[in-house]
Amino acid sequence: MRRKDPKGRQISNAYTGWQSNDGCDSHPTFMKLVNRIENTFSEEVLPFHGITEKSGHRMKVKVG
């Protein structure tokens, strides 16, 4: 991924608040992680606090 945007990666690592456009957020492994986080919250965390999808609550992780 560094090869796709090496200059941008240097800038994003320099504490500028700017993020590289290297495609990391669309990588299949990363998307699998995001889906697991969403499912864990929907199936474990929110029901523990009495919040269900029936009540209209659904956590959506914004990527990119």
State pLDDT tens for residues 8-54: 555 555 565 556 566 777 778 888 888 898 888 888 888 888 887 77
User: Residue 17 has what pLDDT?
Assistant: 58
Chain centroid offset of residue 18 CA: 16
**Domain spans in the chain, listed from the N-terminal domain onward:** 24-64
Whole-structure pTM value: 0.51
> What is the spatial distance between Cα 33 and Cα 31, in angstroms, rounded to a whole number?
5
pLDDT grade for 56, boundaries at 50, 70 and 90:
confident
Please answer whether residues 9 and 21 qualify as being in contact, where contact means their C-beta atoms are separated by less than 8 angstroms. Answer: no
